[in-house]
Structure 1
Amino acid sequence: MGNGSGVSRGDRNRNTRLARLRELVPLSNAIVGIDLADAKQMVVVTDHDSKVLARKTFRCRAWNLGVALDWAAK
């Protein structure tokens, strides 16, 4: 059974979580997300509103992420 607004409980929870994160992260900062795997790591840089600014795959082990963090800092 759907609701009339078209917004699911999951959507509302996600929006609430993002609103809390936006309060914590200043507008001038970026957020770096890293998906850790065995030999291939995915790095994403987003802005304050979770808009993807840059995305790159690094073929390295998790303990060798210095190059990836240097890239994300630029």
Structure 2
Amino acid sequence: MRDEYLIEAQKKIEDPNILINVVSRRVKQLKYGMKPLVESLEKLEPEDIALREIIEGKIDYELYYSADGL
């Protein structure tokens, strides 16, 4: 995982726990065959692709709150 991508992605998703969850879910999707939402001239690892997608605003997240507050 590239440090510069991680630093830039942390500016978009500040909570490290949420960032980890978003990246890990997207990595699973990429490994199961979903197409990347960003283009690159170089070969990137799935983790770097997910981070670039976050940086470029291609993927986002939504927090879920249940009715009972849990």
| Structure holding more helix per residue | 2
Greater C-alpha Rg? 1
TM beyond 0.5? no
Tell me the TM-score normalised to structure 2 length: 0.29
Tell me the TM-score normalised to structure 1 length: 0.28
| Structure holding more strand per residue | 1
